[in-house]
Structure 1
Amino acid sequence: MNLRRRVHSRSVDDWGVWAKNHREGLMAKYGHTTGTSKRSSGTNLYVPPSINLTKIAVIRPPESPTKAGIPVFLAPLAIGTPPVSYDVILDTGSADLWVAGNTCTTGCSSVPTFDSSTSSSFTDKGTAFSIEYGSGEARGTLASDTVQMAGFSVSNQVFAVVDQVSSGLLTSPVSGLLGLAWQSIAASGATPFAQTLASGTSWDSPVMSFQLTRFLNQSKTQEFQAGGTFTMGFVNTTLYTGDIEFINMPVTNSYWILPITAITVQGNSVTVPSGTDSYAAIDTGTTLVGGPSDQIANIYAQIPNSQPGTGNYEGYYLYLNFLLACGTSVTVTFSFGGKTWAVSPADFEVQEVSRGTCLGAFFSLTTGDSAPAWIVGDTFLKNVYSVFKFSPPSVGFAQLSDYSLSMNGNVNLEVPSATIGSVSAFATAGSVDTNRNSAVSLRAPSLLFTIAMTIWAILAI
């Protein structure tokens, strides 16, 4: 599927506020504050929104083109009978679906909302539900209804209808979030939409995959741009080259976890811990890369003129590069037990926050006891074709094809629009884990059949 992106301007001070919110939101999502657990084939088209985690365009020197790019991904799915489409964030780092309801009293005035009275298949579960982010929270109740996406339909899918949202958490047209991880971390206890499809006969293969684009140093970008591809039930061979290297997950049925076995910075090896301290969540819903403070310090120790940030930049690092203006200076590679995968210098640099001072994309964070120590987001994922396999549980990466790479910075690509097409496969939602409190909470912040659906590549910052 193709992606779209939105670009916004922001001041240097706003960069600091964004950085602080991003770090705190990620720690909240992965349970640092309380340790509470969170929460055939089809193709979708991507687009980027404008919420408070949106990547903004900042002028380097005034005469230079703007920098914009770090996507977080959204797609439209349809809920109800008859189906109505809503844009939701695609998040492999959580496992619940929630959307704003038409009874929402705060924080939903500018977004499309779900009206349960228009759906003949809607059932109110009557169970309280809350989702907490570092920058706010959403509250509502659990329900079930028919949910459709990319030609697949799941009946009786449990999701949350939210009626209270903190100011700025949702911005039109984003109506909610679709978690793509496993049932064991679902706050609702329900089998997630994708897991239901993967475990049945709806998909040709139990996989979903992402190809994400970047838009950097583009002076002619529009508010929305095509941004990448999300596929369900197959892998799109036009988007990668060579083989997909699958690594079995060391821990199954939770987050999408891989062990980090090697890191290099500027060609120098950085010592990484073994065992659970090396575990990383591969998270499309996260913009940057977070890890333990000592390991992040080791990474920046390989970068000349780097120093810890202060104030709103606490937990981040800044580095000086007057000659290159941050553009092509730092190369980091990851290995998860097999091949080595590079992070483009363009992705390592979040932004030039002041003349010659650059903000790095790797930052320190502390996660909860049940969460992995590392969170690897779109800073890395834009550099690979990523595949999430439900059986056997594993994550695979492949080299991007020339076709995929040609989408980077291509401002002439047609921006996709949301559609609701015919359904090619049906499934019924699986079990619900009832061994939970009545009030559940989530800590937070996919070629046989193809349907174009709008997705957001949120250009954060």
Structure 2
Amino acid sequence: MRGLAGLAVLSFASVFVSAGTAGPGGRRAPSSSSSFPYPVTVSRGNQDEGFNFTSLAEQIYSATILVNGVPYQVELDTGSSDTWIDPISLGVELPPDLIYTGFNSTTHYVDKTSASGPIVLANVSIGPYTVYNQAITLSYNGTKGVPINGLIGLAGYSAESIGYESSVVHYTLTNTPYSENGIPIVYNIFEHEPDLPNYTTLLMERGDGVIASGGVFTISEVLSNMTNILNAARLTTVKPDQWLTFVDGIYVNGNFMHGGSLFENQTVLDAYRGTAMETIIKDMHMPAGSTLADFDTGTSLIYSPPSYVHAIYKDIPGAQLMPMDETGLVQYMVPCTTKMNITFSINGVLYPIHPIDAISVNAQDDGIWCQGSLIGGTTADTDWLLGDSFLRNVYILFGYGDPEGDLAAKQPYTQLLSRTNPDEAWLEFEYLLLKQALAFAESSGNVSSPVYTGLRPSVSLTEILPSPTADSRGSGSGTPAVNGSDDLAVAGAAAETGSAASNNVDLSSLTRTSYIIVGLLAAALVMLLVTLALVVKASRANAGYRALSTGNLARGKSFVGERDLAYETPYDS
């Protein structure tokens, strides 16, 4: 969960979260339900009204679920496993005919929020699928004023006893008559519909600063013009129950940076000694100079090691280090006209970030202002949370594999397609910035709740069983990474390329040349809009900083102390 103020509030379960298992896409035998008083079954309707996938100010991506027939707009969170609804949130009512189990659950998130309440059984529909007698939590006031109605967890859970449980609901109901009901929703769908390909996909779009189409979310289907995602390298997760992979490093205006992992810090490693995490870390086999990242739709921005954040933003003219709050996050306020080239190298493949996703436009009572989309601080057992600011630049598949009867996450994986055209993205930055700023100004920062429409988006989908492909060190689907010394002149954008664009998908955020001239002419107006906010914020005092220990770095540009770090290449003006 996170708020809409844009100050990098994160959604990520503090209990270990997981992802599904990674198998070759084989069939699964339906489980027996005869021993349960309320057996779980799944139906797949012939009429698919879609998921109502929605972007809320580019901060929250949500979809509609029906709980005993009552529509709830819930956040899609690949960083946690449990599903909960808030019956007293905006525009909803308590669903009828709920079955109370007599058990309660509490799931904590690293933004210091939690979802607590009674565990109930209900018939939960998402898209064409209905899971009967699914266990969810009623979290009264769990949304805490954010204009959504709950959250659906799309990560996995551990059914094996290795020192932690990723799904609080499942753990609570284990060894009770409701143990099958507590299995997360997506696992129940795949378990009871064994002929389905066992993956979900997300293509996340940019909105107008208010409620807009979120793009495309699918279960067991891929976009028909992007089926080559099934041939992309499988990034097998390196820790149970999370969508984790290794990041080789990042390029900022052609400068390659890497290292500084949490797992190079001996103090951190000592803290894990004697715990289940000690074994997990030993089994990760992290390549030298790499860092660990989690693909998390429940995080609005990009969570990174603090040293990267200082390196990227501190030398930008007009940038201000924002005072640390109780979360201890490292954040920079930057001029809204800040335009940067940032590219991630993952598994030897480059994934450029659109310049508009390197900053976050915010609206408050004192005006429109911007912050860097990369924020830094300590998070739970990973170096990066690659949230929505990253995910808008790729088409991503989450593979749940064949659990062979016990539903435990064994080898979950992800597959990525870059949606990058660096030249086009660089040119359209000013237009997209103006579009966001004007939308926020018109709404005065007030965002209403998404509304259930029941309309299916006009996109072409296809259902294909995945076949085994190269593992996490195989070939990828993007731009091959170059040597760290090479000059990446324009490495930092992610507009949809012409070859990847679908005639059936409305990608309004990727408006082309006809708007570029308008955007360039409007840049002066954007600067005027943000000047007042920057003046008001200028009185903020800078907070102190303690750099992460970076260890012995093997290649590329090594991090040193923040006070000694400077770029040879200035930022583009």
TM-score (norm 2): 0.53
Query: 2:237 matched to which residue of 1?
Result: 250
The residue matched to 2:234 in structure 1 has which SS?
strand
Pairing partner for 2:100 from 117, 124, 131: 124
- Change in Cα spacing, 1:314 to 1:180, as seen in structure 2 (3 Å) is closer
- Change in Cα spacing, 1:156 to 1:246, as seen in structure 2 (3 Å) is farther
Matched residues in 1 for 2:227 and 2:333: separation? 33
Pairing partner for 1:418 from 442, 453, 457: 453
Query: 1:147 matched to which residue of 2?
Result: 124
Note the C-alpha offset of 1:93: 0.8
Query: 1:192 matched to which residue of 2?
Result: 184
Matched residues in 1 for 2:105 and 2:362: separation? 40
Tell me if the contact between 1:182 and 1:191 (Cα under 8 Å) persists in the aligned partners.
Answer: no
The residue matched to 1:158 in structure 2 has which SS?
strand
Query: 1:208 matched to which residue of 2?
Result: 200
Query: 2:348 matched to which residue of 1?
Result: 338
Pairing partner for 2:52 from 30, 45, 50: 45
Tell me if the contact between 1:319 and 1:360 (Cα under 8 Å) persists in the aligned partners.
Answer: yes
Note the C-alpha offset of 1:44: 2.3
Note the C-alpha offset of 1:153: 2.0
More helix by share: 2
Paired residue type of 2:295: I
Query: 2:332 matched to which residue of 1?
Result: 317
Matched residues in 2 for 1:334 and 1:359: separation? 20
Matched residues in 1 for 2:104 and 2:304: separation? 33
Matched residues in 1 for 2:212 and 2:237: separation? 37
The residue matched to 2:212 in structure 1 has which SS?
coil
1:399 to 2:418 alignment: yes
- Residue by residue over 1:352-373, the C-alpha shift from the partner in whole angstroms, topping out at 9 and shown as x without a partner, is 88999842100012123xx322
Pairing partner for 1:77 from 62, 65, 70: 65
Matched residues in 1 for 2:389 and 2:206: separation? 10
Paired residue type of 1:365: G
Q: Percent identity?
A: 21
1:347 to 2:357 alignment: yes
Tell me if the contact between 1:241 and 1:400 (Cα under 8 Å) persists in the aligned partners.
Answer: no
Matched residues in 2 for 1:362 and 1:148: separation? 35
Query: 1:162 matched to which residue of 2?
Result: 139
Note the C-alpha offset of 1:113: 2.8
1:326 to 2:337 alignment: yes
Matched residues in 2 for 1:332 and 1:233: separation? 32
1:288 to 2:288 alignment: no
The residue matched to 1:210 in structure 2 has which SS?
strand
Tell me if the contact between 1:240 and 1:401 (Cα under 8 Å) persists in the aligned partners.
Answer: no
Note the C-alpha offset of 1:202: 4.8
Matched residues in 1 for 2:292 and 2:385: separation? 9
Matched residues in 1 for 2:248 and 2:347: separation? 6
Pairing partner for 1:97 from 75, 83, 86: 83
Tell me if the contact between 1:264 and 1:270 (Cα under 8 Å) persists in the aligned partners.
Answer: yes
Paired residue type of 1:45: N
The residue matched to 1:44 in structure 2 has which SS?
coil
- Change in Cα spacing, 1:247 to 1:272, as seen in structure 2 (3 Å) is farther
- Change in Cα spacing, 1:291 to 1:111, as seen in structure 2 (3 Å) is same
- Residue by residue over 1:399-419, the C-alpha shift from the partner in whole angstroms, topping out at 9 and shown as x without a partner, is 3499xx99x9899xxx99533
Tell me if the contact between 2:229 and 2:416 (Cα under 8 Å) persists in the aligned partners.
Answer: no
Tell me if the contact between 2:124 and 2:131 (Cα under 8 Å) persists in the aligned partners.
Answer: yes
1:179 to 2:156 alignment: no
TM-score (norm 1): 0.65
Note the C-alpha offset of 1:77: 1.1
Greater Rg, structure 1 or structure 2? 2
1:234 to 2:221 alignment: yes
The residue matched to 1:346 in structure 2 has which SS?
helix
- Change in Cα spacing, 1:367 to 1:244, as seen in structure 2 (3 Å) is same
Which of structures 1 and 2 has the larger relative contact order (alpha carbons within 8 angstroms, sep 6+)?
1
Paired residue type of 1:156: N
The residue matched to 2:72 in structure 1 has which SS?
strand
Paired residue type of 2:157: Q
Tell me if the contact between 2:118 and 2:137 (Cα under 8 Å) persists in the aligned partners.
Answer: yes
Tell me if the contact between 1:203 and 1:234 (Cα under 8 Å) persists in the aligned partners.
Answer: no
Note the C-alpha offset of 1:309: 2.2
- Change in Cα spacing, 1:132 to 1:356, as seen in structure 2 (3 Å) is closer
Note the C-alpha offset of 1:336: 1.9
Pairing partner for 2:259 from 261, 267, 272: 272
Tell me if the contact between 1:281 and 1:374 (Cα under 8 Å) persists in the aligned partners.
Answer: yes
Paired residue type of 2:393: N
- Change in Cα spacing, 1:166 to 1:252, as seen in structure 2 (3 Å) is closer
Matched residues in 2 for 1:18 and 1:225: separation? 18
- Change in Cα spacing, 1:319 to 1:100, as seen in structure 2 (3 Å) is closer
Pairing partner for 1:87 from 70, 73, 83: 73
Paired residue type of 2:93: T
Gaps of 5+ in 1: 1-14, 50-54, 56-69, 102-107, 422-461
Tell me if the contact between 2:70 and 2:92 (Cα under 8 Å) persists in the aligned partners.
Answer: no
Matched residues in 2 for 1:156 and 1:298: separation? 50
- Residue by residue over 1:288-340, the C-alpha shift from the partner in whole angstroms, topping out at 9 and shown as x without a partner, is 000222233334467566553225695112345xxxx525x112111221321
Query: 2:93 matched to which residue of 1?
Result: 113
- Residue by residue over 1:82-133, the C-alpha shift from the partner in whole angstroms, topping out at 9 and shown as x without a partner, is x3322111111110011123xxxxxx26341333xx33xx421111223445
Note the C-alpha offset of 1:249: 2.5
1:373 to 2:371 alignment: no
Matched residues in 2 for 1:38 and 1:394: separation? 14
Matched residues in 2 for 1:84 and 1:359: separation? 38
Pairing partner for 1:361 from 373, 380, 399: 373
Matched residues in 1 for 2:254 and 2:318: separation? 17
Tell me if the contact between 1:264 and 1:334 (Cα under 8 Å) persists in the aligned partners.
Answer: yes
Note the C-alpha offset of 1:143: 1.5
The residue matched to 1:298 in structure 2 has which SS?
helix
Note the C-alpha offset of 1:348: 0.5
Query: 1:450 matched to which residue of 2?
Result: none
- Change in Cα spacing, 1:193 to 1:246, as seen in structure 2 (3 Å) is farther
Tell me if the contact between 1:239 and 1:400 (Cα under 8 Å) persists in the aligned partners.
Answer: no
Paired residue type of 1:360: G
Matched residues in 2 for 1:273 and 1:340: separation? 20
The residue matched to 2:100 in structure 1 has which SS?
strand
How many residues end up aligned between the 2 structures?
Answer: 346
- Residue by residue over 1:46-81, the C-alpha shift from the partner in whole angstroms, topping out at 9 and shown as x without a partner, is 2244xxxxx4xxxxxxxxxxxxxx24211111222x
The residue matched to 1:294 in structure 2 has which SS?
helix
